[in-house]
A = this chain, B = another copy of it.
């Protein structure tokens, strides 16, 4: 772990390796403060149990005083350290997390692979077992705690054999992993297989069956016996061929509540994923709209979930595209506890080769939804065994920033990015501005050269990297652009699939008309002719071409600017290699997409740039 080729991410200033044997967040806090600050400056630290995760920093005559709860002391310690390392004033007053559950969801399989992972294999699974480098897990605990993340769901929501055994025959392995995270205030969560009682001799997984209920209660008892601070279960049910309550004619509320009741005695949370749709849709069927599925399924269940059920909703109605409107479910379940789910793993957004800083995306979502409508914040992890932790060293920003947004959803993108940049690299002010300004633009650039105007989904099937405009067009996944020689886009207004009616009146009115619909969602909500004239006078087809040319050119400028930055050697090689891939990808997207629309429309670029045949 002290290998010099590992990226130190935003913890570059914390040079001291974490020792073994730290037992509590308080001990960790003491170690970190004493290792970072010279003895005379080391803050005084005081535990006040009832403060829980929060902390207060008081400015005394000499050194600051930190008072905090069991984990609050550690968050406070990192707040002091990061402020100091980042050259910021010592924070003062009380800080408490806005969301009590700040969950990192890791799609790690027990064979060591990571579904949609772009940073190497799992940090804790290998060969069907929990296996990890203790020093590396300690460093990870440090990363998570310093960013404020307090729950890690360690296995894939698609529960592949033998991950069921993490609450069964291999529960001791689960406990061993939990013990490593404990000194960092990080609690373990597991994804569970709804049908597990079936393979364990119960003969059914019907949530209304008493034997099933008893089986899960007994299972929960054993789990909390082994891991007393266990956080709860995450469930992907009735989704993409996963088993679920529908097999028994039960509702998702019945399914979720059954599990929730089994874990309620231990204070466990039951996170039920709302990512449910018909993945066997017939492309011929233009009336069915995948975007409507979750709302249609869950809206009638609002108010029927138990108190410890949290319905976890992806930010958009589809699946982590570069641009989607917010999921109407986030706005339509006032009597249900909701978690917002985002994806740090850049499945559709560049796979940690292409730069894509997410805070601007989250800012938009939170502003649209309102931070109070949700009670938990979950992010699909972008971590792996790579030396850089997140593949692209800059992708660590998203992990860091996620923790910050989950702690304080009012965060401003630029402020978080600047703090991350300052902690990670020691750049001159002008250089830091360069880095931050490109990070701020990176999403918009990616959007322009991939699928702009809300189109989405023009990706290579399966891998989800690189362009393939009709790769999913005649498939069963419900993701169509319906392009033809005249126009493109799906009509989701009342005249079309009427998806738009799932929104509250105000948003509905906004999206319903092409003239008021935000341009970046135009083709998400509307089907338009290539000759449609946009607000600035450009034809739609021209805007498609222009964005692709612009996005690619901006990616080139960005690469040039960022590759000129003086980065530490363990990061610079990775950054260079990945940015080269981004440029190849950007050119491929530009040319394929422009060629696609030119073949269909027959309309030439007004500016005479090269569009291939």
Contact = CB atoms under 8 A, between A and B. Distances in A.
A485 B592 contact: no
A474 B486 CA distance: 21
B484 A599 contact: yes
A411 interface: no
A303 interface: no
A613 B286 contact: yes
Interface stretch (A25-33, A117-125, A326-334, A463-471): A463-471
13 contacts: A284-B591, A286-B613, A461-B461, A469-B470, A474-B588, A474-B592, A474-B595, A484-B598, A484-B600, A485-B485, A485-B602, A599-B600, A600-B600
A600 B469 CA distance: 14
A550 to B, nearest CB: 20
Nearest first, the 6 closest Cβ-Cβ pairs linking A and B are: A484-B599, A474-B592, A284-B612, A485-B485, A470-B470, A485-B602
Nearest to A485: B485
Interface string A452-493: 000000000110000111110010000000111110000000
Contacts of A170: none
Nearest to A610: B284
A286 B612 CA distance: 9
A213 interface: no
A163 to B, nearest CB: 23
A601 interface: yes
A486 B286 contact: no
- A contacts with B: majority SS: loop
A601 B485 contact: yes
Contacts of A591: 284
Contacts of A469: 470, 474
Contacts of A612: 283-284
- Most chain B Cβ neighbours within 10 Å, of A485, A486, A602, A613: A485
Copies in the complex: 2
Contacts of A598: 484
Nearest to A286: B613
Interface string A568-607: 0000000000000000000010011001101111100000
Contacts of A286: 613
Given A468-B471, A474-B467, A592-B474, A485 B613 contact: no
Interface centre among A484, A592, A601, A602, by most chain B C-beta atoms within 10 angstroms, is A484
A483 B596 CA distance: 10
A484 B602 contact: yes
Contacts of A484: 598-600, 602, 613
A374 to B, nearest CB: 37
Nearest to A600: B485
Contacts of A486: 602
Interface in A14-61: none
A240 to B, nearest CB: 18
A462 B463 CA distance: 11
B483 A599 contact: yes
A46 to B, nearest CB: 60
Contacts of A471: 461, 468, 470-471
A588 B473 CA distance: 13
Chain B CB count within 10 A is highest, among A284, A474, A601, for: A474
Nearest to A612: B284
Given A485-B601, A485-B602, A599-B600, 15 more contacts: A286-B613, A468-B470, A469-B470, A470-B470, A470-B471, A482-B613, A483-B599, A484-B599, A484-B600, A484-B602, A485-B485, A485-B599, A485-B600, A486-B602, A600-B600
In this complex, which of A462, A471, A598 has the most chain B Cβ atoms within 10 angstroms of its Cβ?
Answer: A471
Contacts of A468: 470-471, 474
Contacts of A588: 474
A483 B595 CA distance: 11
